[in-house]
Amino acid sequence: MKKKILIMIAVLVMLGSGGIYMYNKLTKPNLSPKTAKLYQHGFRLLEEQIGTYIKENYSGVEKIEFSQIYITGDDGSSMLNAEVVPIVYDSYGNKAKFGEMYKNFQQPAYGTIGYLRVSFDYSGKSYIELSTDSGEFKEVTYGQSLPEEIKVREMKDVDFNFETLIREGKLKGIEKSDEGSPKAEIIYNVKLSKGEE
């Protein structure tokens, strides 16, 4: 009887371990800890850049939060694409997600295509670059305040997302304004996730 119980326990442990392994394989990117940390630092800075732009250029915003960092094309040593999606709340309790489909057109999301570059140089030192108003990329350091030239004054993709969400009635009382939303809360998210939003 004891032998049967031990065998059943062993089988359950093996099944549980296999299930956890498969769950991680399907949902978590296959990155080294060093690479994962680099992407998390880079996206934290990108989220700060986007959040600051929204706070300084749109009035009526209550809260800005960010989705997980979605990774596609991961082959174990590099990522073909990684992106994050802003989610904005207005003062009427409405919540709207950027980057969704609108009349068969995919609105822009934000990530390693067009906004952020992360890599290691020949000596293994990491570097992070963010896009500026001019479209140039400038190096930034994680843990330091965003330099003024990185605090963009124009983000056409953010403006386009807002225009669409306001026109569709998903957000109310928000408009582009120099007054901004200085009290808007920003919730950053640097959790890495495999797949698309």
189 or 1: whose pLDDT is higher? 189
* Same-domain pairing of 107 and 141: yes
Asked if the model's pLDDT at residue 65 lies above 50, the reply is: yes
**110/5 Cα distance (integer angstroms):** 53
b/e map 7-41, b = 16+ CB within 10 Å: eeeeeeeeeeeeeeeeeeeeeebebeeebbebbbb
Residue 129 confidence (pLDDT): 92
* Same-domain pairing of 14 and 36: no
* Same-domain pairing of 66 and 18: no
Which residues constitute the domain of residue 61?
31-194
* Same-domain pairing of 49 and 111: yes
Percent of the chain at pLDDT > 90 equals: 43
Residue 62 confidence (pLDDT): 97
* Same-domain pairing of 6 and 62: no
* Same-domain pairing of 99 and 184: yes
* Same-domain pairing of 152 and 163: yes
Task: Name the band, by pLDDT with cuts 50, 70 and 90, for residue 20.
Answer: very low
| Among the ranges given (26-30, 65-69, 150-154, 156-160), the one the predictor scored with the smallest mean pLDDT | 26-30
Residue 93 confidence (pLDDT): 93
* Same-domain pairing of 147 and 170: yes
* Same-domain pairing of 21 and 84: no
* Same-domain pairing of 111 and 136: yes
Percent of the chain at pLDDT > 70 equals: 76
The mean pLDDT value for 73-100 works out to 81
* Same-domain pairing of 48 and 145: yes
Asked if the model's pLDDT at residue 159 lies above 90, the reply is: yes
The mean pLDDT value for 158-178 works out to 92
Provide the number of structural domains found in the chain. Answer: 2
pTM of the model: 0.81
Residue 64 confidence (pLDDT): 97
The mean pLDDT value for 167-184 works out to 94
Task: Name the band, by pLDDT with cuts 50, 70 and 90, for residue 187.
Answer: very high
Residue type, 156: K
**186/164 Cα distance (integer angstroms):** 21
166 or 32: whose pLDDT is higher? 166
Task: Name the band, by pLDDT with cuts 50, 70 and 90, for residue 58.
Answer: very high
* Same-domain pairing of 22 and 81: no
CB atoms within 10 A of CB 59: 17
